[in-house]
Amino acid sequence: MEAAALPWTEQERKTLPRHVAIIMDGNGRWAEIQGKHRWEGHAYGAKSVRDVVTAAREAGIEALTLYAFSVQNWGRPHFEVEKLMALLLDYLVEEQQTILDNGIRLQGIGQIDRLPPGVREQLRTLEEASAECRDMVLTLALSYGSREEIVAACQQIAKDAAAGRIPPEHIDEALLDRYMLTRDLPPLDLLIRTSGEMRLSNFLLWQAAYAELVVTDVLWPDFDRDHLYQCMDVFRGRQRRFGKTGAQVSNQET
Ligand code: FPP
């Protein structure tokens, strides 16, 4: 894919995040401001998804993870949930060719069994069709909850330990990582939230331990390629210390 329009030099691109996740928030407020129905905010939000996926791929991001629907979102009005599921299905159908043409592997994480059969089937179709794509992983968190993910991981670890497959003393951070739904992804570097809310909302709680957080006031339907690149520039300006001192990190001391 042509990357000519990128705002970074080849050298600067090496300092970009490998894995970016986004809490796509503010669709409802955007619709309200425009005098539209909430679901129209989601429809415009789906357009932002298309733009941001393309922009992330062009920037050479390895993994993009989008919070599209939480476990808790099932509690929204039936009409809104139906509209969201319809938008999701449209996205999976309409973007299939673009996703494949751009070497993107698509996967869903979350309680996928709870999705309507049509969405589930299209998701599986695209997961299988894109399984060998290597240029970027696009993960859609669907009916996803981080606490639910952690509980499920603990249950599986307990079962494996009880069956003698893992000695309890082998349970460490690396092992827990392998029981998370994000096990195939690089560590999370940058977590963006749109619409100014300062919350994680049950998204990637384990994975975000050392991620850089960037909250922008831009509402998701207005969020575009330039906004994504601005957030990535904020990331580039941060010093990641991982518990060390600033001096240790800048001097590369151990
Ligand atoms: C949060 O905004 C957004 C959601 C719950 C849904 C996100 C869905 C999309 C962006 C579109 C469909 C997804 C794909 C992948 C095609 P909100 O409704 O909570 O906004 P508010 O806080 O302003 O009410």
Whose alpha carbon is nearest atom 5 of ligand 1? 69
- Give the mean model confidence (pLDDT) for residues 201-210: 98
Closest to 156 in 3D by CA, of 178, 139, 141, 174: 178
pLDDT for the residue 95: 97
| Residue 167 to residue 2: CA distance in whole angstroms | 49
User: What's the pLDDT band for 254 if we cut at 50, 70, 90?
Assistant: low
CB neighbourhood size of 116 (10 A)? 14
Tell me how far the alpha carbon of residue 147 is from its chain's centroid: 16
Is the C-alpha dihedral spanning 244, 245, 249, 254 positive or negative? negative
Phi and psi torsions of 243, nearest 5° = 90, -10
Q: Is the pLDDT of residue 67 over 90?
A: yes
Task: Look at residue 5 in the predicted model and tell me its pLDDT.
Answer: 79
Residue pLDDT, tens place only, 135-178? 999 999 999 999 999 999 999 999 999 999 999 999 999 999 99
- Per-residue confidence at 22, pLDDT binned at 50, 70, 90? very high
Burial 143-154 (b: 16+ CB within 10 A, else e): bbbbebbeeebe
Q: Is 88 in the pocket of ligand 1 (CB under 6 A)?
A: yes
Quote the mean pLDDT of the chain. Answer: 95
The pLDDT value recorded for residue 241 is 82
pLDDT: is 243 or 174 the higher one? Answer: 174
CA 18–ligand 1 middle distance (angstroms):
24
Q: What pTM was estimated for this model as a whole?
A: 0.96
Grouping H, G, I as helix, E, B as strand and the rest as coil, residue 67 is strand
Is 73 among the residues known to form the active site? yes
Terminus-to-terminus CA distance in the chain, angstroms?
A: 39
User: Which amino acid, 207?
Assistant: Q
Establish whether residue 68 lines the binding site of ligand 1, counting it when its CB lies within 6 angstroms of any ligand atom. Answer: yes
Domains, in order of start, for the chain: 13-194 (3.40.1180.10)
Q: Is 101 a catalytic residue?
A: no
pLDDT in tens, 71-130: 999 999 999 999 999 999 999 999 999 999 999 999 999 999 999 999 999 999 999 999
Neighbours of 191 (CB within 10 A): 25
Task: Encode pLDDT of 212-231 as tens digits.
Answer: 999 999 999 999 999 999 99
Catalytic residue among 25, 102, 189, 202: 25
Average pLDDT of span 9-22: 96
Q: How far is the CA of 42 from the centre of ligand 1 (A)?
A: 5
Q: Is the CB of 91 under 6 A from ligand 1?
A: yes
Q: How far is the CA of 241 from the centre of ligand 1 (A)?
A: 32
**pLDDT given for residue 1 in this prediction:** 47
